[in-house]
Amino acid sequence: AAGGERLPYRVGPGDGLEVVVDGRPDLSRLPTVQTTGSVWLPRAGEVEVRGLSTGEIATRLTPLLAGEDLAAPRVAVRVKEYQSQFVWVRGAVQRPGRKPLRSGTRLLDALLDAGGFQEGASGEVAIERGAGTFADGSRAKHFHFGGTSPTPLALDELGLRLVNGDVVTAGVQLWVSVSGAVKSPGRRPFEDALTVSRLVEAAGGILRAGSQRVVLRRNGGEVEADLRAILEGKAEDVVLAPGDEVVVRARRP
């Protein structure tokens, strides 16, 4: 499963903690982890907590807070402010930028923190792992989320746990267009390896009044192609790029 087990959050400098000692408000505090990686607490003094989970911090503090008046302190620790670790969300989202990594932050949480997809997003999401790798040894993962009701697989992928330094990029939908003597002219989503002949086929094919001669418009220039020659294997099919326009000419009278 993409989600995997929930990994414990490990605190770092800048994180705000809440330390509660049961029945002893005088020993309870809201310390911030310092740049040295430690917090200061009454009775315990300076305590190194960098890289520890909240449970490990509580275990470390328990004997330090014990005393004649408190033989077996019950200590609870939670992260009140997540400030030490971040992921970046960029691309076609409402609020791109740095997002705090919280306990168990999933891909879905990061996308929601960024306000969700913008209009015009393709649904393609890439995650680059800055430190370390994913469970399968890869440094990047690519997902596609389409439609209004996520499939079970998509829900599993959205549950992927993120780690500090991950970069999430939401892709923008790219387009090509086809016009002229085809059954269904208009704009179509760009796909890798899309060719002139495949685009004309996706547009329903050429009308009876159309010719096999087509024009590819790209970056202000024009290139002619012969569909018949392409289909007969006598000419190479042209691979399209985002923004290309294919015009199917009418047959000369």
Question: For the segment 3-41, what is each residue's pLDDT rounded down to a tens digit?
Answer: 444 578 899 999 999 999 999 999 999 999 999 999 999
H helix and E strand count, the chain = 5, 14
Cα(67)–Cα(26) distance, integer angstroms: 14
Q: Residue 16: beta bridge partners?
A: 32, 81
Contact 14, 33 (CB under 8 A): yes
Nearest Cα neighbor of 87 from 70, 66, 68, 109 is 109
Full DSSP string of 13-29: TT-EEEEEETT-TTT-B
For residue 146, what pLDDT is reported?
78
A 10 A CB-CB count for 1 gives 10
Question: For the segment 129-149, what is each residue's pLDDT rounded down to a tens digit?
Answer: 988 888 889 999 999 897 677
Percent of the chain residues past pLDDT 90, beyond the cut: 78
Is 90 exceeded by the pLDDT of residue 177? yes
For residue 4, what pLDDT is reported?
45
For residue 6, what pLDDT is reported?
59
On average, the pLDDT of the chain sits at 91
For residue 138, the one-letter residue type is S
What mean pLDDT is predicted for residues 79-98? 95
Cα(186)–Cα(199) distance, integer angstroms: 11
For residue 149, what pLDDT is reported?
76
Cα(40)–Cα(31) distance, integer angstroms: 7
Overall size of the chain counted in residues = 253
Claim: this prediction has a pTM higher than 0.85: no
Full DSSP string of 63-106: HHH-BTTBSS--EEEEEEE--S-EEEEEESBSS-EEEE--TT-B
Cα(234)–Cα(218) distance, integer angstroms: 23
Contact 14, 80 (CB under 8 A): no
Non-local (6+) Cβ contacts of 221 within 8 A are none
